[in-house]
Amino acid sequence: MARFYVTTPIYYVNDVPHVGHAYTTVAADTVARWRRLRGDDVMFLTGTDEHGQKVLRAAEKLGLTPQAHADATHLRYRALWERLTISYDRFIRTTDARHQAFVQAQLQKLYEDGQLYASDYSGWYSTSAERFWAEDELLDGKCPDSGQPVEWITEKNWFFKMSAYQERLLAHIAAFPDCIQPELRRNEVLGYLKKPLGDLCISRPKARLSWGIPLPFDPEYVTYVWFDALSNYLSAIDGGDEAFWPADYHILGKDILTFHTVYWFSMLFATGYAPPKHVYAHGWWTVEGTKMSKSLGNVVDPHLLVDSYGADAVRYFLLREIPFGGDGDFSHQAFLVRYNADLANDLGNLGHRVLATMLPRWLGGVVPEAGPQTENDLALATLARRVTEAFDTNVSALQFRQALEALWELVRAGNKYVDTEEPWALNKRGDTARLGTVLRNVLEIWRIVASHLACVCPQKSIEMLAKLSLTEPDLAPTFDRLVPGTPVAAGDPLFPRLDAIPAAIADLIAAAKLAAPAPEPKARRAPKPISPTPEPPVSTDAPATPVATPAAAPAAPAAPAAPALIEYDDFGKVQLRTGRIVSAERHPNADKLLVLQVDVGEQAPRQIVAGIAAAHTPESLVGKDIVVVVNMKPAKLRGLVSQGMLLAAGGGDVAALLTAGADIAPGTVVK
């Protein structure tokens, strides 16, 4: 029995869980359930990150101790995971005594090995963001996160000699290229490692940050939250389950990739552990085209989604809608369309006609005997084998969308099979033997689909199997598994068709629209921004996205028409910043497009989809410094979200990318 260890990040206990948190956890749950179904010994870990000044401040406001506050708030995650049927094996909290003891033991070991040293640290400190910033990271001299003033602080701190591990990190990634996935994220990390790696400050003075794990060798200090947090993946299996290490998958969002690769791998090298086998960074969800944020009030509450559609439809949508790794947009309209098309129609049809009508009316409501198989039957069986293999490979590689696409090929083929075999005609002719074979084959497809869905839609899978009087999934792709004579029942429809967005959600959308400022008149276009024609937004009521289309190459150079003049304020609306391309790859569905990850000085790189493939190869772009319009509304380009535009000069093939030069740090404002 193979061991399989999968983790989610541990979530900040202060945050209210939203659809982004649900996404990571549903993905991890799906692969955990799948590996259990395949017979593996699975350890699925999730939990909460409970130290830090923000937790302390929130607790103080409520008149609670930070521990009491964390005890209460961490339950929000437990409650949501229960509603989403998350089957974690262990829930770790960084305030667990065992975890704290483990972290202290690691720190002591590093200290005794001479891997830590004390030194003065100086920098711009932001009290609101609780962190230091480099000079070139400040925005107008203020904290780029909170916009609050920063102060210059010099203080003694403890440092981990992370710089010593740069070569080893590079050698490890070269030897195990798939340890960081998808590929573009690996390139991002390699880009990061092109610069000399510094040492890592792993302490905070207690005077400034008291809610943390004390350094065992210097009680005036607590450890840096990320040193504490990353260690959870080991502390959770300490004391009996060490054999699960190295973890098979750390699943996380792209914003915390550097912590989970550069920092974490170095910490592991230093303490004598192997790095995890795979770190997989997924993309980010925007909401109706906008960044999800508490201040915008557009955070998608997973509880509301579960109330409105049920947990399994939510799980299905999250995994089916966007490729795991890319960014995606959450739109309620898109949810409705996906729900009705795939779940209510395709899946609903497959079972309903046979289970509710044909079997009870014509064959006594039991599993029929199968007779000889025709060519059409055998083709269907071949398809079943192919798609189930594809499902296995794809879920095991976290390619959930592809896995579900494959399974739905079988669902649709099953529906087509009923249409072409015309059981109603067989019944009319009195050909009961062939009728039995046809319906039996459909029931076997139902069983195969239901069994595979056990990892994505666990509750509906149970209901689907119960209709065949089965209590356990049976993954075998052959048409000979059901026992003739077993009663079948139609039961309730699995995913009733929805004619409109459920009322509770429609009310919220209406309220948000009322609260939103009136749409601004379209700004005139900035000179030659590069972005291809966007796909129309899925939501019909979303405003058209004002993205410029690259001009077609003129047949002969013509004198440019006099440009319409704009006011200073018009130009002022366009926010430009310098960016550095950290990775680039071809768009999976469009030859002209490249998908870039661009560092524009924010927490995580932005994904920008640009129509520059005719003039640039992805390899030639990595490391290039460019200029980006950073306040474009996100647009979907052939299924991938683009959050910004590049500036470039030229005609249709837009060869020359604008740059402010390599000396200017990414994120610098261009005026």
Smallest separation (angstroms) from ligand MSP to the CB of 277: 17
For ligand MSP, the binding residue among 15, 238, 241, 346 (CB under 6 A) is 15
Is 272:490 a contact under the CB 8 Å cutoff? no
**Among residues 99 and 616, whose Cβ is nearest to ligand MSP?**
99
Minimum distance from CB of 272 to ligand MSP (Å)? 20
Count of CB atoms within 10 A of residue 663's CB?
7
Please list the residues that pair with 123 across neighbouring strands. 153
Q: Which of 209, 230, 453, 488 binds ligand MSP (CB under 6 A)?
A: 230
Q: Are 328 and 292 in contact (CB under 8 A)?
A: no
Question: Helix (H, G, I), strand (E, B), or coil: what is residue 453?
Answer: helix
Taking CB under 6 A as the criterion, the residue among 11, 165, 265, 324 binding ligand MSP is 11
Contacts (CB under 6 A) with ligand MSP, residues 571-600? none
Under the criterion CB under 6 A, does residue 91 sit at the interface with ligand MSP? no
Alpha-carbon distance 481 to 470, whole Å?
A: 11
* Residue at shortest CB range from ligand MSP: 253
Q: Is 253 in the site for ligand MSP (CB under 6 A)?
A: yes
Q: Which is nearer to ligand MSP, 9 or 579 (CB)?
A: 9
Contact flag: residue 292 with ligand MSP (CB under 6 A): yes
How many residues are recorded in the chain?
671
- Under DSSP, the state recorded for 353 is I
Least separation in angstroms between CB 187 and ligand MSP: 19
Location of structure tokens 């049976």: 474
Cβ 249 to ligand MSP shortest distance, Å: 13
Structure token pair of residue 340: 């009705």
* Cβ 656 to ligand MSP shortest distance, Å: 34
- Residue 255 interacting with ligand MSP (CB under 6 A): yes
Minimum CB distance to ligand MSP smaller for 250 or for 467 = 250
Q: Please name every residue paired with 324 in a beta bridge, in sequence order, or none if there are none.
A: 326
Could you say whether residue 241 binds ligand MSP (CB under 6 A)? Answer: no
Type of residue at 126: S
Please provide residue 648's backbone torsions phi and psi, each rounded to the nearest 5 degrees.
-155, 160
Report which of 13, 8, 55, 51 is spatially closest to residue 225, judged by C-alpha positions.
51
Nearer to ligand MSP, 251 or 395 (CB): 251
For the CB of residue 287, give the shortest distance to ligand MSP in the complex, in Å: 8
**21 scored as a contact of ligand MSP (CB under 6 A):** yes
Cis before 372? omega within 30: no
- x/- string (CB under 6 A) for ligand MSP, residues 48-67? -x------------------
CB of 87 to ligand MSP, least distance (A): 19
Q: Which member of 256, 367, 397, 530 binds ligand MSP (CB under 6 A)?
A: 256
Cβ proximity to ligand MSP: between 277 and 525 the closer is 277
Q: Give yes or no for residue 284 binding ligand MSP (CB under 6 A).
A: yes
Closer by beta carbon to ligand MSP, 381 or else 609: 609
Q: Does 601 bind ligand MSP (CB under 6 A)?
A: no
9 lies in the binding site for ligand MSP (CB under 6 A):
yes
Q: Which of 5, 12, 102, 324 binds ligand MSP (CB under 6 A)?
A: 12
Q: By CB under 6 A, name the one of 4, 6, 20, 214 that touches ligand MSP.
A: 20
**Beta strands, E only, 148-295:** 151-160, 180-181, 200-201, 203-205, 214-215, 218-223, 249-253, 279-282, 285-287, 290-291
CB of 544 to ligand MSP, least distance (A): 24
Question: Alpha-carbon distance 531 to 533, whole Å?
Answer: 7
Q: Where does this chain touch ligand MSP (CB under 6 A) — which range of 250-258, 384-392, 400-408, 651-659? A: 250-258
**CA-based torsion, 388, 394, 396, 401: positive or negative:** negative
Strands (E), 193-348: 200-201, 203-205, 214-215, 218-223, 249-253, 279-282, 285-287, 290-291, 328-330
Rounded CA-CA distance 561/530 in Å is: 20
**Distance (Å, rounded) from C-alpha 150 to C-alpha 170?**
35
Of the candidates 363, 548, 382, which has an alpha carbon nearest to the alpha carbon of residue 437? 363
Total of residues contacting ligand MSP (CB under 6 A): 20
What is the DSSP secondary structure assignment for residue 64, as one 8-state letter? -
Please report, as ranges, the residues that interact with ligand MSP according to CB under 6 A.
Answer: 9-12, 15, 20-21, 23-24, 49, 229-230, 232, 252-253, 255-256, 284-285, 292
